[in-house]
Amino acid sequence: MALVPSQVLRVAILLSYCSILCNYKAIEMPSHQTYGGSWKFLTFIDLVIQAVFFGICVLTDLSSLLTRGSGNQEQERQLKKLISLRDWMLAVLAFPVGIFVVTVFWIIYAYDREMIYPKLLDNFIPGWLNHGMHTTVLPFILIEMRTSHHQYPSRSSGLAAICTFSVGYILWVCWVHHVTGMWVYPFLEHIGPGARIIFFGSTTILMNFLYLLGEVLNNYIWDTQKSMEEDKVKPKLE
């Protein structure tokens, strides 16, 4: 029942996300006290998604260790359900939402940080925590994709799920503005209604693209891995 390096790594990543979430929630920022609290920010939602996903990964690893060699069919059925949930979460939420948060945040930040992460926030959020929320998500999810094979759902159901999430979050942002009169992200204050519609539509398209990118990347990694293993076996058979 020895743990392999990838399983230890998942535990470490889960603990890091728990630490980031606890430190972030401990910060007393004015925006946390307004309508919607932390839940109006996609960054926070993504952190919760990543923590839940890696929690499921760790639970799957533990279940696999306990089930191995037991011959208990019920336990094996439950393990398959956990694996299916883990794979679905990576495909539909953890990968596309995580990559979206990293790429969009740093692109807007590089253009004009005041539009997405005003300098005032440096007084509340230390640099390491900012990178924990907006940078390390990328290597962590790529490591998970590289160390474990994940079965993607059918493309139509996967795209439908990510579209539902995207539209749901856009409606939530609009509702927060309707209630408070303030946009969640500062740059939305500086563009007109038409530009906002284009932006929201573009983000939904980008989410769909990232879902497809994850599917292609997952297939590439594991098709390449399979080919390498087959190449190693061939000389032995000859």
Taking each helix axis from N to C terminus, what angle separates 42-67 and 127-134, rounded to the nearest 10 degrees? 70
| CB within 8 Å of 194: residues ≥ 6 apart | none
Q: Would you state the pLDDT for residue 91?
A: 96
| CB within 8 Å of 138: residues ≥ 6 apart | 98, 99, 102
Residue in 217, 234, 185 with CA at minimum distance from that of residue 40:
185
Structure tokens at 46: 């993504």
**Lookup result for tokens 């790594």:** 9
For 1-48, what is each residue's pLDDT tens digit? 556 788 899 999 999 999 999 999 888 888 788 899 999 999 999 999
Give the angle subtended at the CA of 169 by the CAs of 46 and 13, to the nearest 5°: 5
Residue 106 pLDDT grade (very low, low, confident, very high; cuts 50, 70, 90): very high
Is the pLDDT confidence value at 120 over 70?
yes
Residue 225 pLDDT grade (very low, low, confident, very high; cuts 50, 70, 90): low
Q: Is 60 helix (H, G, I), strand (E, B) or coil?
A: helix
What is the Cα–Cα distance from 69 to 52, expressed in whole angstroms?
Answer: 28
Q: Would you state the pLDDT for residue 154?
A: 95
For 61-101, what is each residue's pLDDT tens digit? 998 888 776 667 777 888 899 999 999 999 999 999 999 99
Q: Would you state the pLDDT for residue 163?
A: 96
Q: Would you state the pLDDT for residue 228?
A: 57
Structure tokens at 100: 């979206």
Is the pLDDT confidence value at 126 over 70?
yes
Residue 233 pLDDT grade (very low, low, confident, very high; cuts 50, 70, 90): low
Residue 142 pLDDT grade (very low, low, confident, very high; cuts 50, 70, 90): very high
Q: Would you state the pLDDT for residue 230?
A: 52
Which amino acid is located at 42 in the chain?
Answer: L
Is the pLDDT confidence value at 206 over 80?
yes
Phi, psi of 54 (to 5 degrees): -70, -25
Is the pLDDT confidence value at 234 over 60?
no
Structure tokens at 176: 């927060």
pTM of the model: 0.89
Phi, psi of 148 (to 5 degrees): -135, 135
Report the pLDDT averaged over residues 163-181: 96
Is the pLDDT confidence value at 180 over 80?
yes
